[in-house]
Chains A and B, each alone.
Chain A
Amino acid sequence: MNMAIRVFLLLLIIFSSMYPTLCIYEDQVGHMDWHQQYIGKVKHAVFHTQKAARKRVVVSTEENVVASIDLRRGEIFWRHVLGPKDVIDALDIALGKYVITLSSEGTILRAWNLPDGQMMWETTLSGSTPSMSLLSIPTNLKIGKDDVVFVYGSGCLYAVASVDGEVIWKKELTSEGVHIQQLIYPDGTDIICAVGLAGLAQFDAYQINVKTGELLKHSSMVFPAGFSGDLSFITSDIAVTLDSTGSILVAVHFQDGEISFHQTHVSELGWDFSGPAVLLPTKLPGMFALEINKSIVFIKVTNEGKLEAVDKLGQSTAVSESLNLSEGQQAFGLIQRGDGKIILTVKLGNDWTSNLLQETIQMDHQRGNAHKVFINTYVRTDRSNGFRALIVMEDHSLFLLQQGEIVWSREDGLASITDVMASELPVEKDGVSVAKVEHNLFEWLKGHLLKLKGTLMIATPDDVVAIQKLRLQSSGKSKMTRDHNGFRKLLIVLTRAGKLFALHTGDGRIVWSLFLDSLRKSETCQNPRGLSLHQWQDPHHHVLDENPSVLVVGRCDHSTDSPGVLSVVDTYTGQERNHLGPRHSITRVIPLPFTDSAEQRLHLLLDVNRQAHLYPRTTEALDIFQRELGNIYWYSADVDKGILKGHAVQNNCILKIADSYCFNTRDLWSIILPSESEKIIATATRNLNEAVHTQAKVTSDQEVMYKYISKNLLFLATVAPKAVGPIGSVTPEESWLVVYVIDTVTGRILHRMTHHGSQGPVQAVFSENWVVYHYFNLKAHRYEMSVIEIYDQSRSDNKDILKLLLGKHNLTSPITAYSRPEVIAKSQSYFFMHSVKTLAVTSTAKGITSKQLLLGTIGDQVLALDKRFLDPRRTVNPTQAEKEEGIIPLTDSLPIIPQSYVTHALKVEGLRGIATVPAKLESTTLVFAYGVDLFFTRLAPSRTYDSLTEDFSYALLLITIAALVIAIFVTWIWSEKKELQEKWR
């Protein structure tokens, strides 16, 4: 047996000593991987439909994406993902051919070519004071020969030539702390008006010459009661705002620099309004909207300046901006939510009572309310105006409505995934519906014959196309049942909108989606958001009838002490099984290594008061927990104070209402990092589900090193407080990076190392007994990657073969951290070319297969790097035996092999995370990379040594076997005959 293992291991080493290349052939793209492109929640949308061959809508989103979308099908024409800090503030179309975006708090102005999305110019507008950023594109104004764009950002007003981005003039408007809220340019005049508030008590209006930027007039007026902050602009000379109490509406007239206030009490508006009102940001003709008492009130401003409430609608109403129709009329759209449907209403600006259009569209309840609506008009065949509406729902999905129907929809919530969890599919059995993709025997044979032709190279070009098609839609790929290789799974993802999606790993389609009620805005929960996903129930053995489920942890508000919400969702059906909350706050979720008889995992949830709450709330779980109570610890890392503390779970908490599932905790140890020299910037722990095959590492000279494998290890990286900023903000002398490996049970520091002249950002990954981290070396001006491997010295004296033979050793007996095993750490550093966004490591079912690091590069690709490159035992001249073991000669930098890009030619725009899931097949791991885009593939770090390739021709094998059997029979008959003849002779 052992010999067999040795032979196997040796063979493995021989195989692995060849550089594994992960590259795939061109025709294999899309075979086991899929890629989906998204844009995120739309913030601004500008239609481009007139005089355009291809009708499109240009959008900017909360994921900082500028995209041009086909209005017919909803496909992306082009798309640009700006950096995470480059938030888009405004978007418009200039000259009918450029998309102008203003981003980074009004400092960067860019123009993109409308047809193909190429950037035409970029202008950096420098300013000193942060302010609102505004963009105004007059339709018909030329300064000299140039069309202009007005930009207000960082306290300055700029006129920029829209053809080349040149700044024509600049005017600073920051005097007296005025916050400009609107630029008003009445068509055909020479004056642009900048209107804003100063210190919430003074209204300011500037009049500026559009040609020269000269300040013509500055008028201001103090409003003693104070404003609430926002202005709503009704016409070019009337603005409306609320006073600081939120009960008095103030209409401001500022015609020609003459400012006057007209106050109206909210209660005077007609309906019985009470309570504070909030002004909604709307741009409606002669109208504005207020939110009072959870309803939206539309208020019209009459020509005499009087305010008049026209209608009251539900809170879930979305209002579009006004749209210019022909003949000087203006229209706007409203979306109201009905039961299982939405109602789109388009009204003329001056007439509330009649509707231009009212359509009812069936809409899934799972999409929530409409958040935004953008309308566009087209001329129908009978010369009347038709309307199309682009709506953004609460789950961030995007719809185009036209003629009462949904033309297309996009699931853009998937652009903002916050957590991923894999779940098994149902086992195939009678009664479980198998998808329609099942083939009949004839089709199967035909497919195999085609493949055979391909193998024998007698396929015609048509056949080749057919083979490729067959491969891509490989029958088993998208079935809804478990396969014996474990490639088919469900990826449960939680999005920022609080929606759960189940994606099929075969083709990436959405199997089900669920907008959790507990993560929806409600009376008790004002700003709910999902925090994390955890495996709640993962039935394996005796409870296979139960469906697996996940735990979704959410929080009602942004602060850590806000109440938490929990819900358990069945991953087969996508139904919420039960939900709890809002209840105690949740700061940490600790999945415990125990499950109850129904294989529900025990979870410990910690609140801000450091009380631990046990879930599930059953007596059985409580029994298990009480039994293990003495061995359960937890630790807290306080980033602000730089304190690491260890705690133990003690006894039941003392509350007003007795709760046997609540436990007090006590402090055990603490590590206080000196705040003047160290600040925590990164931590990493091992994945709890990671399988480790062996504790021994065999070196080339047949010696054994024992890995120190503990789930309670924490990697902690700190930098000098000065070096927290971006790279280059400090000199190498005043910057350092300190890394720790800490046992979180006892608080013992196993290893500490200082990298002088280095700084963050630090990305780290912890697996088995090693940790790999990535940082910047200021002295060498290069990124570096380091590895720390921890070995247990106390076990190394287990050298007596006889004892091992008889099993008389203590290597597998349970160990405690209090025994303080003697450990040694080996470390090595290498230069690395790229900056890294995220780090992950492959994981396999049994942990036998060698590991690969997955690096999310700055170019939004995923690069696989063999762990063998990060081995502290690498030397410049390894011996023959070491070479045989697979140790690579030491080089100062890590190689980037172009073939080992997992994402091959694709990009996962806005890459944020990489999740790896083991398949049932030991050699294979499933990789899911997410950001704005999604990418899924499967990897075999040591190649698929345990299975035949998918291209393997079973037909050829069967035919060969059949031919051999026939040959045996024929020759047997022949020989019989011949022998008989011999005998008769």
Chain B
Amino acid sequence: MDKGKAVMGSGRRWAVEFTDNSTSPSSRDIPDPPGFTRGAHDQDESTVSKQKKDAEANWKAQKAWEVAQAPFKNLLMMGFMMWMSGSTVHLFSIGITFSALWQPINALRGVGKVFEPYKDNKVDLLVPKLAFIALNLVGLGLGVWKLNTLGLLPTHVSDWVSSLPPAQEVEFSGGGIPLH
């Protein structure tokens, strides 16, 4: 790795330009072949590049949608796992539940990063992003629901009063049958 860096750092010594993008014939030593009109080619080329760009944008949008839909598969998978793990608290079900919670949270934290490669002026990423977020939220919800079914959410009165110490008494009374 160090080697590569050092070489890159020293810059270019020489370069060959294979593409010729110049449009004016005057700048060339060699005249154009007969039947070749530079202008027509130019125009054609521009349409090609445009097409190319469109294709890329399409591809990016498609990919973004794919990425956005990825949690759905995950969701199904999680659902299946949760169903398998049952509703009693043990190591497996707790592990599943926590991973079901952790994955969406992690994904939501990295929304920007996930869609980074598909960033494009022409591509509207908002909808896929929203879909992605929504699906992950559904996943999160599923995790929370699972947590609740396991009874690990403090949603009952019992969760709040179970360790309340007994109330103090104002009065004190003692006595009983006489000692004998």
Q: A residues engaging B (CB < 8 A)?
A: 2-3, 5-7, 9-11, 14, 531-532, 553, 555, 560, 586-593, 604, 606, 628, 631-637, 639, 646-647, 680, 683, 685, 688, 692-696, 698-699, 702-704, 706-707, 709-712, 714, 744-745, 798-799, 801, 804-805, 811-818, 884
Contact = CB atoms under 8 A, between A and B. Distances in A.
B179 A9 contact: no
Q: Which of B153, B162, B180 has the most CB of A within 10 A?
A: B162
A702 B176 contact: no
A712 B161 CA distance: 23
A637 B176 contact: yes
A717 to B, nearest CB: 12
A712 B168 CA distance: 12
Nearest to B155: A801
Contacts of A593: 172
Interface string B102-132: 0000000000000000000000000000000
B162 A816 contact: no
A413 B176 CA distance: 28
A799 B160 CA distance: 10
10 contacts: A10-B89, A10-B151, A531-B179, A588-B178, A688-B174, A709-B166, A711-B172, A805-B160, A811-B161, A811-B164
Interface string B143-178: 000000001111111111111111111111111111
B175 A588 contact: yes
A646 B173 CA distance: 9
B157 A798 contact: yes
A589 B179 contact: yes
Contact of B166 (A694, A798, A805): A694
A696 B162 contact: yes
A704 B173 contact: no
Contact of B177 (A10, A604, A683): A683
B158 A703 contact: yes
A13 to B, nearest CB: 10
Contact of B170 (A588, A637, A816): A816
Nearest to A558: B180
A804 B157 contact: yes
Contacts of B159: 2, 6, 702
Given A3-B152, A712-B171, A815-B170, 15 more contacts: A2-B160, A10-B151, A11-B89, A586-B179, A588-B176, A590-B174, A634-B175, A637-B175, A639-B177, A685-B176, A694-B161, A695-B166, A710-B169, A711-B173, A805-B160
Given A6-B152, A560-B180, A696-B162, A632 B172 contact: yes
B92 to A, nearest CB: 14
Contact of B89 (A7, A591, A711, A811): A7
Contacts of A694: 161-166
Contact of B167 (A7, A11, A695): A695
B170 to A, nearest CB: 4
A673 to B, nearest CB: 14
Interface in B79-111: 88-89
A475 to B, nearest CB: 37
B89 A693 contact: no
Contacts of B172: 592-593, 628, 631-633, 711-712
Nearest to B94: A7
A814 B162 contact: no
A631 B168 CA distance: 13
Contacts of B154: 2-3, 6
A886 to B, nearest CB: 14
B156 to A, nearest CB: 4
Contacts of A2: 154, 159-160
A812 B165 contact: yes
A803 to B, nearest CB: 9
B178 to A, nearest CB: 4
A631 B151 contact: no
A639 B156 CA distance: 48
A905 B177 CA distance: 36
Nearest to B153: A3
Interface of B: 88-89, 151-180
Q: Which of B89, B155, B176 has the most CB of A within 10 A?
A: B176
Contacts of A646: 173
A591 B164 CA distance: 26
A798 B159 CA distance: 13
Nearest to A699: B158
Nearest to A711: B169
Contacts of A703: 156-158
Contacts of A706: 161
Pairs of residues from A and B, 6 with the lowest C-beta to C-beta distance, nearest first: A590-B174, A804-B160, A702-B156, A634-B175, A633-B173, A587-B178
A529 to B, nearest CB: 11
Nearest to B174: A590
Contact of A816 (B155, B160, B171): B171
A850 B135 CA distance: 45
Given A698-B158, A815-B169, A592 B164 contact: no
A744 B175 contact: yes
B167 to A, nearest CB: 5
A814 B169 contact: yes
A811 B167 contact: yes
Contacts of A606: 175
Given A7-B152, A531-B179, A631-B172, A801 B157 contact: yes
A804 B163 CA distance: 12
A631 B171 contact: yes
A600 B125 CA distance: 76
A555 B180 CA distance: 9
Nearest to A532: B179
A695 B176 contact: no
A604 B175 CA distance: 9
Contacts of B88: 884
Nearest to B159: A2
A814 B161 contact: no
A696 B158 contact: yes
A636 B178 contact: yes
Contacts of A637: 175-177
Given A632-B172, A635-B173, A704 B165 contact: no
Contact of B174 (A9, A532, A592, A692): A592
Contacts of B162: 5-6, 9, 694, 696, 698, 704
A636 B174 CA distance: 9
Nearest to A713: B173
B164 A696 contact: yes
A710 B172 CA distance: 9
Contacts of B89: 7, 10-11, 14
Nearest to B154: A2
Contacts of A632: 171-173
B174 A634 contact: yes
Contacts of B177: 637, 639, 680, 683
A798 B161 contact: yes
Contacts of A744: 173, 175
Contacts of A804: 157, 160-161
Contact of B173 (A628, A634, A699): A634
A44 B175 CA distance: 40
A588 B161 CA distance: 38
B164 A745 contact: no
Nearest to B147: A3
A584 to B, nearest CB: 14
A667 to B, nearest CB: 13
Contacts of B156: 702-704, 801
A884 B86 CA distance: 14
A807 to B, nearest CB: 9
A816 B169 contact: yes
A592 B174 CA distance: 8
A590 B173 CA distance: 9
B171 A745 contact: yes
A699 B161 CA distance: 12
Contacts of B153: 3
A702 B171 contact: no
A634 B180 CA distance: 18
Given A587-B179, A712-B169, A5 B163 contact: yes
